[in-house]
């Protein structure tokens, strides 16, 4: 049996208990790139109707970002921007942003968090909804960056003939981002 804390309620924990949890959490966090890869692979099945799988869409987005010369954080964001689709189809952007937020600059997390709203520009009118919902964010310092993310990489990444890089090409970039110390010092084990 593995080591466990002594408490039954968090308020009764000791410094030793939380040191143990911090150590175990740090080890668990080091395995995050593998769990992200597993989640991406699951996007290869599931939602139907598109000409490419959600995984292929993600690979196309990341490949387009890479070929455009985007930095590592944006390439990884393009790869994982729809990772929440599997468990949160109606708020997938917020889920993906939450996964990325501790590891990337605020601009990148914001782009991913808002990409669902910005992406609706391309289709909302077909559902008799307002395609200009993103306009309420006009004036935000990252508005143009999010609009470009959607225009250049996201909305155009449904082409079954596009020559995407394989998932393995992005593994070193995923590891570079997700093996960084987390930004949030409130996370148990962050920065360890």
Per-residue pLDDT reduced to its tens digit, 112-147:
999 999 999 999 999 999 999 999 999 999 999 999
Residue 127 belongs to a domain: yes
Residue 2 belongs to a domain: no
Q: Span 4-23, mean pLDDT?
A: 95
Residue 28 belongs to a domain: yes
Residue 186 belongs to a domain: no
Per-residue pLDDT reduced to its tens digit, 22-41:
999 988 999 999 999 999 99
Indicate the number of domains in the chain: 1
Residue 91 belongs to a domain: yes
Residue 183 belongs to a domain: no
The pLDDT of residue 2 is above 90: no
Per-residue pLDDT reduced to its tens digit, 90-99:
999 999 999 9
pLDDT at 191: 47
CATH number at residue 28: 1.10.3210.10
pLDDT at 192: 42
Closest among 135, 77, 64 to 106, alpha carbons compared: 77
pLDDT at 183: 82
- The residue that leads in pLDDT, 183 or 77, is 77
Q: What is the pTM of this model?
A: 0.91
Residue 9 belongs to a domain: no
pLDDT at 46: 77
Residue 90 belongs to a domain: yes
Provide the domain limits for residue 52: 14-178
pLDDT confidence tier of residue 188, bands split at 50, 70 and 90: low
Percent of the chain with pLDDT over 90: 89
Concatenated DSSP letters for the chain? -----S-SSGGG--HHHHHHHHHHHHHHHHTHHHHHHHHHHHTTSS--SSSS-HHHHHHHHHHHHHHTT--HHHHHHHHHTTGGGGT-TTSHHHHHHHHHTTTS-HHHHHHHHHHHHHHGGGTGGGGTS-TTGGGGGTTSTTHHHHHHIIIIIITT---TTS-PPPHHHHHHHHHHHHTSPPS-TTSTTTT-
């Amino acid at each position: 049996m593995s080591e466990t804390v002594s408490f039954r309620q968090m308020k009764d924990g000791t410094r030793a208990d939380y040191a143990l949890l911090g150590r175990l959490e740090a080890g668990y966090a080091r395995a995050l790139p593998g769990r992200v890869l597993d989640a991406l692979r699951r996007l290869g099945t599931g939602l139907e109707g598109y000409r490419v799988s959600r995984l292929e869409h993600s690979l196309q987005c990341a490949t387009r970002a890479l070929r455009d010369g985007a930095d590592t954080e944006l390439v990884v964001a393009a790869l994982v921007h729809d990772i929440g689709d599997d468990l949160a189809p109606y708020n997938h952007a917020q889920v993906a942003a939450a996964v990325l937020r501790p590891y990337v600059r605020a601009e990148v997390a914001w782009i991913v968090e808002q990409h669902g709203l910005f992406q609706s520009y391309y289709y909302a009118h077909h559902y008799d909804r307002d395609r200009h919902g993103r306009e309420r964010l006009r004036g935000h310092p990252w508005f143009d960056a999010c609009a470009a993310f959607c225009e250049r990489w996201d909305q155009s990444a449904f082409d079954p003939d596009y020559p995407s890089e394989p998932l393995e090409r992005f593994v070193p970039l995923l590891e570079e981002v997700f093996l960084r110390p987390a930004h949030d010092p409130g996370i148990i084990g962050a920065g360890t």
